């Protein structure tokens, strides 16, 4: 059974197309897919269009539902988008924002007492080693701490499709790896499909079952990390001369030799 299928997707801003006729082979529940590509390739636009945050035409099928035909409220029950930057000026504690996320999750949120929702929110924070942030105000956190809080809010909703837009850009090395490992765990244990925009190709290879490489609003390559991250594709998309190899522990490594000019 195919769980997420995107076909003929057009999306853009103010009538100006950024993505057009975009197709992605079917993704299955439990799968982690990274979306990589140069600045301005349309990665965030793709995620925003899947989340219903910008107008889009075409087909986005998630399980049996055609997302483009659902109301935003029904779509939000299935899809959660974590943006690159969280809203400013939220004077709530991190725990309160995670509780609000749980409350906004139908089925589960509605049946919890206040104490149960707070307990569940604390568990989610513990899961990402961020329980120390529980009592801190969101608007007083560092950039990386805000990202962790945003991730906790997103995980707490337990969506079918979780869209993470550069979720590790402000995180230190430990939390980058931790957050990506958590995304994998969440996908496997809860049967979510997770799409993550990343710039770090080695991190993308580590976390992903498959990688989508985008450039200029198009899908340039899609496949396992070994299929999608090749010297030819890196030269075409990023204009760099690179070597790609597996280290003796199996991790994919990308070595950049030169920037291609001309
Ligand atoms: N709100 C907006 N209004 C108008 N154009 C936009 C808007 N957001 C993005 N764009 C344009 O859409 C194109 C794709 O942007 P997008 O943010 O999707 O790229 P990206 O691949 O996520 O880039 P980056 O890696 O730099 O975050 C760019 O040309 C950008 O200028």
Using CB distances shorter than 6 Å, the residues near ligand 1 are 13, 18, 37, 39-45
Looking at ligand 1, which residue's alpha carbon is closest to its atom 17?
Answer: 44
Looking at ligand 1, which residue's alpha carbon is closest to its atom 9?
Answer: 45
Q: Is 201's pLDDT higher than 60?
A: yes
Selection from 108, 101, 110, 103 nearest residue 82 by Cα: 101
CA of 217 to the centre of ligand 1 (A): 10
Q: Are 171 and 143 in contact (CB under 8 A)?
A: no
Q: Is 74's pLDDT higher than 70?
A: yes
Q: Select from 44, 50, 83, 237 the residue to mutate for testing ligand 1; criterion: most ligand atoms less than 8 Å from CB.
A: 44
Q: Are 218 and 46 in contact (CB under 8 A)?
A: no
Give the residue-averaged pLDDT of 217-245.
Answer: 96
Q: Give pLDDT tens digits for 169-200.
A: 888 998 899 889 989 998 998 899 999 999 99
pLDDT number for residue 108: 56
pLDDT number for residue 107: 57
pLDDT number for residue 209: 96
pLDDT number for residue 2: 47
pLDDT number for residue 91: 85
Cα separation of 207 and 250, whole Å? 13
Instruction: Work out the number of other CB atoms within 10 angstroms of the CB of residue 221.
Output: 19
Q: Give pLDDT tens digits for 122-176.
A: 999 998 889 999 999 998 898 888 889 999 999 999 899 999 999 998 889 988 9
Homologous superfamily (CATH) of 4-259 is P-loop containing nucleotide triphosphate hydrolases (3.40.50.300)
Q: Are 144 and 175 in contact (CB under 8 A)?
A: yes
Q: Give pLDDT tens digits for 203-225.
A: 999 999 999 999 999 999 999 99
Give the residue-averaged pLDDT of 80-100.
Answer: 87
Q: Is 86's pLDDT higher than 80?
A: no
Domains of the chain, residue spans = 4-259
Q: Give pLDDT tens digits for 92-106.
A: 999 999 999 888 876
Contacts for 128 with CB less than 8 Å, ≥ 6 apart? 148, 151, 152, 155, 178, 179, 182
């Amino acid at each position: 059974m195919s769980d997420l299928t995107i076909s003929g997707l057009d999306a853009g801003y103010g009538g100006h197309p950024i993505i057009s006729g975009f197709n992605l082979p079917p993704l299955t529940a439990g799968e982690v897919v990274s979306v990589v590509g140069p600045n301005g390739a349309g990665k965030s636009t793709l995620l925003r269009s899947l989340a219903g945050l910008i107008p889009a035409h075409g087909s986005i099928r998630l399980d049996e539902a055609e997302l483009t035909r659902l109301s935003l409220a029904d779509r939000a029950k299935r899809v959660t988008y974590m943006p690159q930057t969280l809203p400013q000026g939220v004077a709530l504690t991190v725990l309160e924002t995670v509780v609000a996320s749980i409350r906004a999750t139908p089925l589960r949120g509605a049946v919890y007492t206040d104490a149960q929702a707070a307990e569940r929110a604390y568990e989610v924070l513990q899961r990402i080693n961020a329980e120390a942030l529980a009592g801190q105000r969101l608007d007083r956190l560092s950039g990386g701490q805000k990202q962790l809080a945003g991730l906790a809010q997103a995980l707490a909703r337990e969506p079918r499709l979780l869209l993470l837009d550069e979720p590790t850009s402000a995180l230190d090395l430990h939390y980058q790896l931790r957050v990506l490992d958590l995304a994998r765990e969440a996908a496997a244990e809860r049967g979510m499909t997770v799409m993550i925009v990343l710039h770090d190709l080695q991190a993308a290879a580590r976390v992903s079952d498959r990688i989508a490489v985008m450039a200029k609003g198009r899908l340039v390559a899609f496949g396992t990390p070994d299929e999608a991250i090749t010297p030819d594709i890196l030269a075409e998309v990023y204009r760099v001369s690179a070597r790609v190899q597996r280290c003796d522990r199996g991790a994919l490594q990308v070595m950049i030799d030169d920037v291609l000019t001309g």
